Every structure is written in C-alpha cells, then in structure tokens.
Amino acid sequence: MKLHLLSALGILIAGTSVASAEYSITILHTNDIHSRIESINRFDSTCDAEGEAEGKCFGGVARLKTKMDELRAQMDNQNVLVLDAGDAFQGSLFYTTYKGEAEAQFMEAIGYDAMAVGNHEFDDGPEGLSKFIDAVSFPVVSGNLDLSAEKSLIDKVQDHLVLEVGGEKIGIVSALATDTIETSSPGESVVFEDEIEALKADVAALEEAGVSMIIALNHVGLPMDLKIAEAVPGIDVVIGGHSHTLMSNEAEGAPAYPAMVGNIPVAQAYAYSKYIGKLTVEFDDQGNVTAAEGEPVLLDASVTPDAAIAAQIAEMGAPIEEMKKRVVAATSDVVNGDRAVCRVAECPMGNLVADAMLDRVKDQGVTIAIQNGGGLRASIDAGEVTMGEVLTVLPFQNTLATFQVSGQAIVDALENGVSQIEEVKGRFPQVAGLKFTFDPSVAPNEGRVQEVMVMKDGAFAPIDTAEMYSVVSNNYVRNGGDGYKMFKTAEKAYDFGPDIADVTAEYMAAQGEYKPYTDGRISQK
C-alpha cells in the first residue's frame, strides 16, 4: 500500500483527521538490526555456509526482504506500516567496511516507511548519520534532539511526521535515549532533551493538527517505553528498541506481546534481524485503541532468502570474505558473550577480552583491565575461531588505551559500572587483575560496590584508594563512554594502541585451544 508523507519537517497539514469506524492497521517492525546483513547463528553472530546448509541460520536482510514481501502480500488491501526502531548501524564487518551504506541500500530494498534514530547511528558521529539519511528515501525521526547547532543534520531528522495509510493520517513521534552522549559519539553539537517532555510536545503538535492516531517509535528500551506509555497522553501505540527485548506470547519467560499499559500496546521484536514484529491495532471512530494483538515472526530456515538481495550481499561481501574466513584460534567450548549475562555479571567473554587486554600491556606495569560489557556484541561457538567471529564480538574498532588513575577512581568506575544493572546497560565492567563484590539492593551510586581487591605482589589485597594504578581499557571507555567520566582526566593516557579485536585474536591463538571460564572475580552479595 502506498504511503504519503504529509509532513517533512513537522509542518503539518491543517484540518481534522477523524478515524473511520473500525479502522485497523498492522505494524510490521524491526529494531536493533545492528548490521546483521548476513544471517546469524543461535549466538547472534554471523552464520556460515555450513550452518545455512544445515538449516541452523536465522535472519539476515535477504530473509527480511522475503518475509516483508510475503506479509504485505498476505495483507493485500489492508493497512500496513513498516517501521524500524533504530540501531541499524554497528555489529558486523559490513558496517566496519561500508559505514552505513549497506544498511541504507538494504533497508531501501526492504521498503521501510520510517525509522527512528538509535544511539549507534551516532557511532561515526553526526556525519555518519547524515550520509545514511541522504541515502534513503524514507523519513528518519527523533523528537528529543536539538540539532540546530549540528550543521550536518539540520533539516534531516524530523521531530515528528505524518504518514497517510488507507486514507487516514498516522502520526509518528520518537525519542532517543538521553544517555546516547555516553554510549555513542553524537558530539557536543547534538543536544538531548528529556524523552517524556519532548514526546508530550510532539504529540500536542500532532493533535493540534487534527491527527488522532499516534505511534511512538522510540529507541529508549522497554522500561522507559512502559513509562512513556503511562506518562504521555495521546500516544496510542509504542514501538520500541534499544533493550533487545523478545516480547512474545509463545516464548517461555518472555514478556507478553504486546504489553498493555491501559489500552496502549507496547511492542519490541528482539534484535539482529531475527524477528519481524507483527502488531495489528484497531481504533474506534475517535481514534482510540479498542484492540491490539500480534506476535513476532521468527525468520528461521523456513524463510528462503531473497535471491536478488543474497546476490548483492555476496558481491559486497567479497572484499572482506577472505579476512572473515581466516582461522585465528580455537576454543574448547562456547565463549558466552550474551548481553543478558555480560551486562549484569562476570561472563566468559568478558574474562577473555579483559585477560587479553591485560596480557598485552602487562610488561608496561599495567595491573588492571576494565572492559565495558556493552562492547561485547556476540558469543563464539566451540571449535575453530575465525577473525570474522572475533570482529563480530568486537566490531567497534576500539583501540587499547592505557592510563593511570587513583584507587578511588577505580572504585568510582566500578560503582558506575554496576549502577544500571536493572536496565541491563552496557556500562557493566568486565575486569582482570582485580576482584570486586557488589550489592544490587543498594541504591545506584550509593555504595553498591562493597569490596575491591587488586593483584599485588602475586596475591590479592584490598585496593588503596589513595594509590595510583596503571589501567588498560578501550579508548571509548577511557574517554568517558558509558559513564566512565572519571577516566577522562586520567594521567599518562595513551588511547592509540592496537585494535582490541586483534589483541583478543592473538591472545586466543597463543593459548593453543582456549578454554573459556569464570573464576568468581565478580560476585554479588
């Protein structure tokens, strides 16, 4: 069904839009694709030819294209809207190589109607997002960004917009998590406004223009989406991303799809191109939601990848295929890098990367390593390990950073790291050369970290808050990313070491067959 963009810059067509009785719309939605252009395995990293042959692969944009076309065909003559809730960027070699060009090309081919800005859309600065927007025909929206001082994005990201679907005007508002200044690289010219207050203003503007059916297309995470549904009058539907939440009525332990806040449905569809959310919403003649139901559609091996898209992927992947296939190490078991583990507790992937970082610079007198859990993007399967797998785990091209800070700064850093475990945020610290215990029942930043022990003279001893310690992390964390502001003023800082992916691959190779493990270096009270 053809959609008409009625508002390009929030300048709405005057007049009243009253929904017809029993108006129904189906929203097909994705979120947090994270450059999974190729299909993925059960660990959310790139699937190989053997996995495809065995029917063990999921997702990928070729499957997305097939299933989107199929769903549209099934709903011929019905009202359909195709939305993405942000974070198309970052997470595979396709992003590392093409910096958003591949994502733009394939999202165009799939036929999205609108997209929210995700935090990772700023990973290559505002200019990276600007180039992406220039390459796509669909509107990109985020209403809580003041871009008036950022020349590359002026008039490119919309505060809100209106799409015509089946003769009715559908308003789209959007908010991006305000901690993007810590989790990505938007720069000082991009100013973030409070999500709820900005949404209230955009909803009011749409209602004043007579738009009665409004969808919030957010990138703030499920907990905030639920707050928004309760706090912002006039929003009828919330489609979200950022927390990578699988909402389902069929998957064991998953929150319901959709979650209902009063009569407002809230939906999200996991991540990595594995699912398409499918939500059907019915409105009365006043534009009020009367019913909402649906279920994410799993893109497993039963979905045949679109041949034309698959051919394009193969062509674009040719320059990096040899590097991806190069075997660099072996592991005796799965190295678990699942975000649900690595962002709340010690995990095998965190130990591997932190150990590798510390090993590389131990001859420089460095004794402590801290790696943010959010920098670990996948697991590694047992057996041979390719460079492509390592780069899927560590896709950000972060470099090794060494510096000196006080013991108190290290305690403060750990306190920051455990401050948002309830929201499974990426600042959680994976460590080497130290052990710590934290109590999640204590309020954030109020003393959750109960005990910190550091390696000294071959044994663990309590940290001395007045002593200076040599630390290794990645350049993102050293420069204050993920809330680690206490490292921005570190002494003797050097941010230009080797790529952490290379460091990790070489460390694994030196172990022979690497044996993943945890050893209790992080514990909870």
Of the chain, the end-to-end C-alpha distance in Å amounts to 56
Greater model confidence, 318 or 349: 349
pLDDT of residue 93: 83
pLDDT of residue 90: 87
CA neighbor of 173 nearest in space, from 232, 248, 259:
232
- When pLDDT is averaged across residues 186-207 and rounded to a whole number, the result is 98
Sign of the alpha-carbon torsion through 158, 89, 342, 491:
negative
Token pair of 109 as six digits: 């081919």
Kindly state the average pLDDT of the residues 358-375: 96
Residues 6+ apart with CB under 8 A from 374: 183, 339, 343, 425, 426, 427, 428, 482
Average pLDDT over residues 254-258: 98
397-445: pLDDT as tens digits: 788 999 999 999 999 999 999 999 999 999 999 999 999 999 999 999 9
Percent of the chain with pLDDT over 70: 96
pLDDT of residue 255: 98
Residues 6+ apart with CB under 8 A from 457: none
Q: Is the pLDDT of residue 315 over 90?
A: yes
Containing 438, the helix (H) or strand (E) segment is strand 434-438
* Predicted pLDDT of residue 495: 85
Question: What pLDDT, on the 0 to 100 scale, is given for residue 344?
Answer: 98
Average pLDDT over residues 256-271: 98
How far is 37 from 40, CA to CA, in rounded Å? 9
| Whole-number pLDDT of residue 494 | 87
Query: pLDDT at residue 40 above 70?
Result: yes
Domains and CATH numbers, the chain: 4-313 (3.60.21.10), 327-524 (3.90.780.10)
**pLDDT band at residue 172, thresholds of 50, 70 and 90?**
very high
Q: Nearest CA to 423 among 340, 360, 347? A: 340
**Token pair recorded at residue 300:** 């497993």
Average pLDDT value for the chain: 93
Model pLDDT, residue 464:
97
Q: Given a cut of 60, is residue 178 above it in pLDDT?
A: yes
Helices (H), 209-252: 222-231
What digits encode the pLDDT tens for the residues 297-310?
A: 999 999 999 999 99
Q: Quick check: 240 pLDDT over 80? A: yes
- Per-residue pLDDT at 4: 41
What distance in Å separates the CA atoms of residue 46 and residue 53, rounded to the nearest whole number? 14
| Confidence grade of residue 195 (pLDDT, cut at 50, 70, 90) | very high
Residue bearing the bigger pLDDT, 199 or 181: 199
What is the spatial distance between Cα 267 and Cα 249, in angstroms, rounded to a whole number?
A: 12
Q: Check if the beta carbon of residue 30 is closer than 8 Å to that of residue 12.
A: no
Per-residue pLDDT tens over the stretch 71-122: 999 998 899 999 999 999 988 889 988 999 999 999 999 999 999 999 999 9
| pLDDT of 498 above 90 | no
For residue 516, pLDDT over 70 is answered with: yes
What pLDDT score was predicted for residue 6? Answer: 47
pLDDT of residue 21: 54
Tally of CB atoms within 10 A around 76:
8
Q: State the pLDDT confidence band at 330, using cuts at 50, 70 and 90.
A: very high
Shortest CA distance to 128 belongs to which of 115, 137, 119, 141? 119
By CB neighbour count within 10 A (0-12 exposed, 13-18 middle, 19+ buried), where does 74 fall? exposed
Q: What is the mean pLDDT of residues 27-49?
A: 92
